[in-house]
Amino acid sequence: MKTNIFQVVVLWCGVIVLAFFAVKKPETLTIGASAVLAVFALVMTVINLRGKNTDKSGQPPQPETNPDPAAGNYPSVEVPVLGKPRMVFKRDCVEYKGKVVYYNQLTGVFYNTVKLSVNLIPVSQSYTFCITSENTKIKVNYASFFYIGNKKLLEGYTKLLEMAKIYIEPFVVLKYVKDIFEAGKTVKIGSVEFTKAGYSKKKLFGGREEVLWTDKVYIPQYYQGMVYMYKVKNDKPKTFAGLSMQSMNSVVVPLLVQECYNRTHPQVKK
């Protein structure tokens, strides 16, 4: 918490300094920068105060659970979330601030980071991580302003993503694959629909554009807060769709495409 308090103090000092210059020399740039910084300082203060309203132990309660056999033998891992209690990834669930999300009840995951600049000057870097189940939601938001303490925030965020790749995303994808290939359902993520045949989206002037699992399929890629999907055109990959990483479950699309392709192209057993 010392780091966060220091950030807040520095921010409000910056607000005071900019406000002083704005009064002495009123200009649109100075007044605007002062207002933006004041908003960020207020947000940081609220985040800081929220971080104090936690259990003194810094850990969520440890309820008795019935392990999900499909969860695997993963070790229990505690991930520090700066200014907040640790998030605990266990064999069958995630626990955070008294909330529990079981892997076999997962319905969604999203995470993203946003950089904000004013007149090309970096102002803030924010991070969001969220997982949901049928009746529970765990969401973490935190940010650095003028990149003060950003290294620790980035390390914590990166660790959360590593855990999501191991503990969260495979279960969301497993559910989707079962819905698609065993229940015959259509799964929609953003503007793209997934079926037994392939994935598709609406065309601008009616009809649907699709990529079949029997086609040459390229694995989607992450780039600047987006997940890009591809379609072969003239023997080259062309962008088929771009999904924001802020959309629920768009981050699992690369793994989902891979698993759906594997399902329709079973390996020949020797």
Split at pLDDT 50, 70, 90, the class of 228 is very high
Buried b (16+ CB within 10 A) or exposed e, 73-111: eeeebebebbbbbbbbbbebbbbbbebbbbbbbbbbbbb
**Taking 80 as the threshold, does the pLDDT of residue 4 lie above it?**
no
Per-residue pLDDT at 12 exceeds 90:
no
Residue 115: CB atoms within 10 A of its CB come to 12
- How many domains does the chain contain in total? 3
- Is 31 part of a structural domain of the chain? yes
**What is the model's pLDDT at position 115?**
87
90 and 164 fall within a common domain: yes
pTM of this structure:
0.71
Tell me how far the alpha carbon of residue 31 is from its chain's centroid: 33
Q: Would you say residue 175 lies in a domain?
A: no
Kindly state whether residue 269 falls inside one of the protein's structural domains: no
Which residue(s) pair with 223 in the sheet?
226
- Statement to judge: residues 41 and 112 lie in one domain: no
Residue 50 above 50 pLDDT? no
pLDDT tens digits, 152-186: 888 889 999 999 999 999 999 999 999 999 999 99
141 with 73, same domain?
yes
State the average pLDDT over residues 31-56.
Answer: 50
Predicted confidence (pLDDT) per residue in 67-113, tens digit: 344 444 567 888 877 667 899 999 899 999 999 999 999 999 999 99
Residues 164 and 66 in one domain: yes
Q: What's the whole-number mean pLDDT along residues 8-34?
A: 57
Let me know if residue 74 belongs to a domain.
yes
Domain presence at residue 25: yes
Q: Over the stretch 243-267, which tens digit does the pLDDT of each residue have?
A: 999 999 999 999 999 999 999 987 6
What are the structure tokens assigned to 117, written together?
């600049």
Show which of 19, 34, 53 is a domain's final residue. Answer: 53
Region of 74 please: left (phi>0), alpha (psi -120 to 50) or beta: beta
Structural domain span for residue 25: 1-53
